[in-house]
């Protein structure tokens, strides 16, 4: 079996509050998994369960095919990196790196060698004798990663490791974590609420909400084919435009306000019945303008209300069928408030959801 | 103006440039202002008010009895004598023993040191376990423990006497040590629990991932980070137990009385002349230990209290 982590039917209750609800998660060997969700969705809790820091109510956890549901954290073959770094303040960097190895009773030479290797990989050799207090935020997080690294484990768990860093450092370390993954080829499970981190790092993203995994798919999967309304609205910035209407004309037309949008090109997962209430979602970056709009499967004239220049691109707000439509285009196109433009989109790039079940159609 | 000028620069130029660059920060205040006179005057009066009893005690203790009888309690001694101190320490009689306070001092030391060590050790482990190793019913356990600190001591005196009698350690130092350790437990556990809860939980988690167990995390991670709270606990316990009178009277017998009880017996003896100078010397001697502890560790004490208060 080439699964690195398997979570089966995991349930966790705190008193009467159910935090994780019979959750399943299969992580392949060497995969980089991101658990993504807003705060309180249970993503950190799930990570803590995998690490063995929380006793679960029901279910099983396998790591490398071994049932570790009731094993001690140190016996699970995991290394963990925390948001607050969690470095032992009274120990030097060397002490921090070697603490776990000493606890495991490794011989001195071996400890020495592993610390040296980790310090080399993370480029923290000059800092080995310093105390954590004398390190910058980025250096501290490197040491924290190093502490997982020296354990020579198969699975790395990251609990929002970059949230305490400033924007510049965050993107630097993000690249470094990706590089580290390419080099070590470990399985990594990474918790974050930052979708940019999720999209850039992950092989697969698990989007969580209220203790349930909504979708577990590749970054392009969750972006292009969100399974429900929540995922669709959560991923992407600015977020997806939604239009509520219904299917008519034998399911070939989407009717909303006074607009009729042909949906013949849309690849339905299951063909809905005529008259079904449907929500159509279009990403702002999939809306085209001008000549291109005319070429797409649907186009409509509208008036620009607000323009937000963002440098390379422009986000503009307009109204379609009485509802706000956000779209994004290159800043080469000059737009100003009150401009009359033609906007269009290809229905094939949109997403349609059942208005009641909120599932993708 | 010329005072502020840089040395070597011409006075005329410097006064102009000093105005441009020299004056920074708040306007300096004059030392002697009505406001300062009020503040320092009040402080001085309060200091004198608090220091005066100590002054009277020390001055009286250095006088001979004839001079004490003159009644000038604020006056320094005309003839300095250390005889009252010697008598208070080594010769004053309580009951049948005439070896002064020294006996009480050593009794108090033999009570205080083990009580402080035992109570702090257990309470700190309590606090650590209650925060980091929550077990079924740990919250109820904690509530009961805290509730214990609200019950007046008097209520528990007699049951405690029976308990010690049944254990066969009534009237011994071990018995009193046990009593002090038990009675210190609620407040100390609360103190340690709150302090440990202010330490980041992720540190504890990291240590568990690193394979450290209950004791290793306690000794290698928690202890080194908790020096201030240990100092606070030591001060609380040393002064509390050293100054204790009630338990000392109830749970020991005359040969084993702590210093406070003995002091009372010396000062309140009804027979013979009241030797105020000896009484004063004995009182100062008894107060020296807590005083010493405060002076040595006052700064750490404040730091520890503040750390617990802000984060706990």
User: Inter-chain contact A84–B208, Cβ cutoff 8 Å?
Assistant: no
Is the pLDDT at B266 greater than 70? The verdict is: yes
Is the pLDDT at B292 greater than 80? The verdict is: yes
**CA–CA dist A86, A76 (Å, integer):** 20
Query: pLDDT tens digits for B94-103?
Result: 777 778 888 8
Q: What's the Cα-to-Cα distance from A80 to each of A48, A50, A76, A191, rounded to whole Å?
A: 9, 10, 11, 11
**CATH for A241-354, among 3.60.20.10, 2.60.120.650, 2.40.50.140, 3.40.50.300?**
2.40.50.140
Closest residue in chain B to residue A157, using alpha carbons only: B209
ipTM at complex level: 0.85
Helix (H, G, I), strand (E, B) or coil at A343: strand
For CA atoms A46, A51, A55, A59, the dihedral sign is positive
Is the pLDDT at B301 greater than 80? The verdict is: no
**pLDDT at residue number B17:** 45
**pLDDT at residue number A107:** 94
Look up tokens 């010493």; give the residue. Answer: B292
Q: What's the Cα-to-Cα distance from B188 to each of A112, B114, B146, B229, B233, rounded to whole Å?
A: 41, 15, 10, 10, 7
**Phi/psi of residue A332, nearest 5 degrees:** -65, -30
Place B50 in a pLDDT band, splitting at 50, 70 and 90.
very high
Is the pLDDT at B181 greater than 90? The verdict is: yes
User: What value does the mean pLDDT take over residues B39-53?
Assistant: 95
**CA–CA dist B9, B11 (Å, integer):** 6
Q: What percent of chain B has pLDDT over 90?
A: 46
Helix (H) or strand (E) holding A255: strand A253-256
Place B15 in a pLDDT band, splitting at 50, 70 and 90.
very low
Question: Which is nearest to A100 in space by CA: B89, B216, B55, B77?
Answer: B216
* Secondary structure, 3-state, A306-323: EEEECCCEEEEEEEECCE
Other CB atoms within a 10 A radius of the CB of residue A126 amount to 10
Closest residue in chain A to residue B136, using alpha carbons only: A15
**CA–CA dist B264, B243 (Å, integer):** 12
Q: Where in chain A is the domain with CATH 3.40.50.300?
A: 3-234
Q: Where in chain A is the domain with CATH 2.40.50.140?
A: 241-354
User: Inter-chain contact A78–B209, Cβ cutoff 8 Å?
Assistant: yes
Place A284 in a pLDDT band, splitting at 50, 70 and 90.
very high
User: Inter-chain contact A82–B211, Cβ cutoff 8 Å?
Assistant: no
Residue partners of B240: CB distance under 8 A and separation at least 6 = B184
Contact assessment for residue B178 and residue B164, using Cβ atoms and an 8 Å cutoff: yes
DSSP string of chain B? Answer: -GGGSPTTS-HHHHHHHIIIII--SSPPPPSS-HHHHHHHHHHHHHHHHHHHHHHHHHHHHTS-HHHHHT--TTSPPSS---HHHHIIIII--BTTB-STTHHHHHHHHHHHHHHHHHHHHHHHHHHHHHHHS--TTHHHHHHHHHHHTTS-HHHHHHHHHHHHHHHT-TTSHHHHHHHHHHHHHHHHHHHHHHHHHHS-HHHHHHHHHTT--HHHIIIIIIHHH-HHHHHHHHHHHHHHHHH--HHHHHHS-GGG--HHHHHHHHHT--SS---HHHHHHHHHHHHHHHHHHHHHHHHHHHHHHHHHHHH-
Chain A contact set for B216 (CB, 8 A): 103
Residue partners of A327: CB distance under 8 A and separation at least 6 = A241, A284, A285, A287, A289, A315, A316, A318, A343
Looking at domain A3-234, its CATH class is alpha beta
The four Cα atoms A198, A42, B200, B229 give a dihedral, to 10 degrees, of 170
Residue pairs between chains A and B whose CB atoms are closer than 8 Å? 61
Closest residue in chain B to residue A54, using alpha carbons only: B205
Place B304 in a pLDDT band, splitting at 50, 70 and 90.
low
Q: Which of B200, B203, B208 sits opposite A74 (nearest CB)?
A: B208
User: Inter-chain contact B225–A147, Cβ cutoff 8 Å?
Assistant: no
Is the pLDDT at B8 greater than 80? The verdict is: no
**pLDDT at residue number A272:** 83
User: Inter-chain contact B205–A83, Cβ cutoff 8 Å?
Assistant: no
Is the pLDDT at B306 greater than 60? The verdict is: no
Most distant pair of Cα atoms in chain A: their distance: 77
Residue of B210, B214, B226, B307 to mutate, testing the A interface (most A Cβ within 10 Å of its Cβ): B210
Contact assessment for residue B173 and residue B252, using Cβ atoms and an 8 Å cutoff: yes
Chain B contact set for A53 (CB, 8 A): 205, 208-209
User: Inter-chain contact A80–B205, Cβ cutoff 8 Å?
Assistant: yes
Is the pLDDT at B31 greater than 90? The verdict is: no
Query: pLDDT tens digits for A91-144?
Result: 999 999 999 999 999 999 999 999 999 999 999 999 999 999 889 888 999 999
Q: What is the DSSP letter of A359?
A: B
Helix (H) or strand (E) holding A200: helix A195-201
Min Cα distance B136 → chain A (Å) is: 12
Strands A340-345 and A298-309: antiparallel
**Phi/psi of residue B9, nearest 5 degrees:** -90, 150
**pLDDT at residue number B23:** 65
**pLDDT at residue number A182:** 93
Chain B contact set for A99 (CB, 8 A): 207, 210, 212, 220
User: Inter-chain contact A147–B202, Cβ cutoff 8 Å?
Assistant: no
Helix (H) or strand (E) holding A95: helix A93-103
User: What value does the mean pLDDT take over residues A335-360?
Assistant: 89
Own/partner long-range contacts of A323-331 (Cβ < 8 Å, ≥24 apart):
A323/A243, A323/A257, A324/A241, A325/A241, A325/A282, A325/A287, A326/A238, A326/A241, A326/A284, A327/A241, A327/A284, A327/A285, A327/A287, A327/A289, A328/A238, A328/A284, A328/A285, A328/A287, A329/A287, A329/A288, A329/A289
Residue of B199, B200, B209 to mutate, testing the A interface (most A Cβ within 10 Å of its Cβ): B209
Place A2 in a pLDDT band, splitting at 50, 70 and 90.
confident
Burial tier of B194 (Cβ tally within 10 Å: 0-12, 13-18, 19+): middle
Strands A212-217 and A204-209: antiparallel
Buried b (16+ CB within 10 A) or exposed e, B20-48: eeeeeeeeeeeeeeeeeeeeeeeeeeeee
Residue A309's beta-bridge partner residues?
A314
User: Inter-chain contact B209–A104, Cβ cutoff 8 Å?
Assistant: no
Other CB atoms within a 10 A radius of the CB of residue B114 amount to 18
Is the pLDDT at B2 greater than 50? The verdict is: no
Place A212 in a pLDDT band, splitting at 50, 70 and 90.
very high
Q: Which of B200, B211, B224 sits opposite A74 (nearest CB)?
A: B211
Residue partners of B210: CB distance under 8 A and separation at least 6 = A74, A99, A100, A103, A147, A151
Entry field: residues in chain B: 312
Place A189 in a pLDDT band, splitting at 50, 70 and 90.
very high
User: Inter-chain contact B205–A53, Cβ cutoff 8 Å?
Assistant: yes
Is the pLDDT at B121 greater than 90? The verdict is: yes
**pLDDT at residue number A5:** 93
Is the pLDDT at A61 greater than 50? The verdict is: yes
User: Inter-chain contact A82–B202, Cβ cutoff 8 Å?
Assistant: yes
User: Inter-chain contact A51–B224, Cβ cutoff 8 Å?
Assistant: no
Q: Average pLDDT, whole number, for chain A?
A: 90
User: Inter-chain contact A103–B216, Cβ cutoff 8 Å?
Assistant: yes
Entry field: residues in chain A: 361
Question: Which is nearest to B255 in space by CA: B59, B91, B98?
Answer: B98
Closest residue in chain A to residue B221, using alpha carbons only: A88
Q: A290 or A227, which is more confident?
A: A227
Q: Which of B209, B220, B225 sits opposite A74 (nearest CB)?
A: B209
Residue partners of B278: CB distance under 8 A and separation at least 6 = B61, B84, B87, B88, B92, B266
User: Inter-chain contact B206–A86, Cβ cutoff 8 Å?
Assistant: yes
Helix (H, G, I), strand (E, B) or coil at A31: coil
Min Cα distance A172 → chain B (Å) is: 24
**pLDDT at residue number B22:** 61
Question: Which is nearest to A95 in space by CA: A122, A132, A126?
Answer: A132
Closest residue in chain B to residue A104, using alpha carbons only: B211
User: What value does the mean pLDDT take over residues B98-112?
Assistant: 90
Closest residue in chain B to residue A90, using alpha carbons only: B224
Helix (H) or strand (E) holding A234: helix A229-234
Domains and CATH numbers, chain B: 28-81 (no CATH), 102-311 (1.10.3720.10)
User: Inter-chain contact B208–A73, Cβ cutoff 8 Å?
Assistant: yes
**CA–CA dist A37, A194 (Å, integer):** 8
Q: What's the Cα-to-Cα distance from B23 to each of B5, B8, B266, rounded to whole Å?
A: 11, 19, 66
**CA–CA dist A301, A308 (Å, integer):** 20
Query: pLDDT tens digits for B123-137?
Result: 999 999 999 988 888
Chain B contact set for A90 (CB, 8 A): 224-225
**pLDDT at residue number A265:** 84
């Amino acid at each position: 079996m080439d699964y690195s982590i398997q979570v089966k039917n995991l349930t966790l209750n705190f008193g009467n509050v159910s935090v994780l609800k019979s959750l399943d998660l299969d992580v392949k060997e060497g995969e980089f998994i991101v658990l993504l969700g807003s705060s309180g969705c249970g993503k950190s809790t799930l990570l803590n369960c995998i690490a063995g820091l929380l006793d679960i109510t029901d279910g099983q956890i396998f790591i490398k095919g071994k049932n570790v549901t009731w094993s001690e954290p140190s016996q699970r073959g995991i290394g963990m990196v925390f948001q607050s770094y969690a470095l032992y303040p009274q120990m030097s960097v060397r002490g921090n790196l070697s603490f776990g190895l000493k606890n495991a009773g490794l011989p001195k030479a071996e400890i020495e060698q592993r610390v040296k290797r980790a310090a080399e990989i993370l480029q923290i050799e000059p800092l080995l004798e310093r105390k954590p207090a004398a390190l910058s935020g980025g250096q501290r997080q490197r040491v924290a990663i190093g502490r997982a690294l020296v354990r020579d484990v198969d699975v790395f768990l990251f609990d929002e490791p970059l949230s305490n860093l400033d924007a510049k450092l965050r993107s630097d370390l993000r690249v470094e974590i990706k590089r580290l993954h390419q080099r070590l080829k470990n399985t990594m499970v990474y918790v974050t609420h930052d979708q940019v981190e999720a999209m850039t790092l992950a092989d697969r993203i698990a989007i969580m909400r209220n203790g349930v995994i909504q979708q577990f798919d590749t970054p392009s999967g969750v972006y292009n084919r969100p399974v429900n309304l929540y995922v669709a609205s959560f991923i992407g910035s600015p977020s997806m435009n939604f239009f509520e209407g219904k299917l008519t004309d034998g399911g070939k037309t989407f009717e909303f306000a006074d607009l009729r949008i042909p949906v013949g090109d849309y690849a339905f997962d299951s063909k809905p019945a005529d008259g079904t209430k449907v929500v159509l979602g279009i990403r702002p970056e999939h809306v085209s303008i001008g000549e291109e709009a005319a070429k797409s499967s649907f186009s409509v004239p509208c008036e620009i209300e607000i323009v937000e220049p963002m440098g390379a691109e422009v986000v503009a707000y307009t109204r379609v069928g009485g509802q706000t439509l956000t779209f994004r285009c290159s800043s080469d196109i000059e737009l100003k408030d009150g401009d009359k433009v033609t906007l269009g989109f290809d229905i094939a790039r949109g997403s349609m959801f059942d208005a009641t079940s909120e599932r993708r159609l | 103006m010329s005072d502020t000028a840089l040395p070597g620069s011409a006075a005329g130029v410097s006064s102009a440039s000093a105005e441009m660059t020299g004056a920074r920060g708040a306007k300096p205040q004059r030392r002697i202002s009505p406001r300062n006179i009020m503040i320092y005057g009040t402080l001085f009066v309060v200091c004198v008010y608090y220091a005066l009893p100590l002054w009277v005690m020390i001055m009286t203790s250095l006088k001979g009895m004839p001079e004490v009888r003159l009644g000038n309690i604020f006056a320094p001694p005309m003839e300095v004598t250390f005889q009252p101190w010697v008598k208070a320490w080594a010769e004053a009689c309580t009951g049948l023993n005439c070896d002064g306070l020294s006996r009480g001092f050593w009794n108090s030391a033999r009570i205080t040191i083990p009580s402080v060590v035992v109570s702090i050790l257990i309470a700190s482990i309590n606090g650590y376990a209650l925060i980091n190793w929550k077990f079924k019913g740990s919250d109820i356990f904690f509530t009961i423990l805290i509730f214990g600190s609200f019950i007046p001591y008097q209520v528990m005196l007699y049951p405690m006497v029976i308990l010690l009698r049944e254990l066969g350690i009534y009237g011994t130092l071990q018995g009193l040590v046990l009593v002090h350790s038990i009675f210190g437990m609620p407040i100390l556990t609360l103190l340690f629990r709150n302090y440990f809860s202010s330490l980041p939980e992720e540190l504890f988690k990291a240590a568990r991932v690193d394979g450290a167990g209950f004791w290793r995390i306690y000794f290698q991670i928690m202890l080194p980070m908790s020096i201030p709270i240990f100092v606070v606990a030591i001060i609380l316990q040393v002064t509390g137990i050293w100054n204790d009178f009630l338990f000392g009277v109830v749970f020991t017998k005359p040969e084993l009385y702590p210093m406070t009880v003995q002091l009372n017996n010396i000062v309140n003896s009804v027979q013979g002349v009241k030797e105020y100078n000896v009484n004063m010397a004995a009182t100062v001697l008894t107060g020296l230990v807590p005083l010493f502890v405060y002076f040595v560790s006052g700064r750490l004490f404040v730091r520890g209290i503040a750390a617990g208060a802000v984060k706990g």
